Amino acid sequence: MRRLLTPDAEPSAPRPRAHRRVVLHALVPFLGLCVASATFAGASTHDAADGATFGASVDIPSKSSHPPSYPREAVRAGATGTVIVRVDVDAKGSLQNVSVVESSGHAALDAAAEEAARRWTYTPAMHEGSPAPGHVRIPIDFML
């Protein structure tokens, strides 16, 4: 901590840091949640693995209402990373399957991403003007 000196004053004593730790510990999960919810908006409908494009999509209001939570153990460990989930959607827009296609390297973050994807709603793909089954790949970033 930097101390300011004036010509007639003694160096001031450092301020207690306990209150800063409490505020920081309270804000870290919140900030992580904000970052996670703000950075996963770029869902892709192109699957590089099979070279095909599938037009299913996630409904943005649904994602905003149910952002992924940052697991406490991941916050304590300082774990960060990006999870890419693949969501299979039927012709009615119902979720059929969620799987992690690229792991963050942290099981807790992967599980949180899957859990969040299960709470969202989806729009089916369209084929020749009719709803069709499809999938969407969704990157979800967890940053502290």
Of 5-9, 15-19, 57-61, which has the strongest mean pLDDT?
A: 57-61
pLDDT at 122: 94
pLDDT at 6: 44
∠ Cα 32 38 42 (to 5°): 130
User: Residue 22: which CATH number?
Assistant: 3.30.2420.10
Q: Is residue 7 situated within a structural domain?
A: no
The Cβ-side half-sphere exposure at 37, using a 13 Å CA radius, reads 18
The Cβ-side half-sphere exposure at 118, using a 13 Å CA radius, reads 11
Residue range 75-102, pLDDT digits in tens: 999 999 999 999 999 999 999 999 999 9
Given a cut of 60, whether residue 4 has pLDDT beyond it is no
Within a 10 A sphere around the Cβ of 119, how many other Cβ atoms?
A: 13
**Domain span at 133:** 18-142
Q: Which of 13, 10, 142, 21 is nearest to 81 (CA)?
A: 142
Structurally, the chain folds into a number of domains equal to 1
Residue range 54-81, pLDDT digits in tens: 578 888 888 878 889 999 999 999 999 9
Q: Residue 7 has what DSSP assignment?
A: T
Q: Is residue 9 situated within a structural domain?
A: no
Question: Which tokens hold the place of 58?
Answer: 């996630």
Residue 125, SS3 per DSSP: strand
Q: Is residue 1 situated within a structural domain?
A: no
pLDDT at 118: 96
pLDDT at 49: 46
Q: Is residue 5 situated within a structural domain?
A: no
Q: Is residue 38 situated within a structural domain?
A: yes
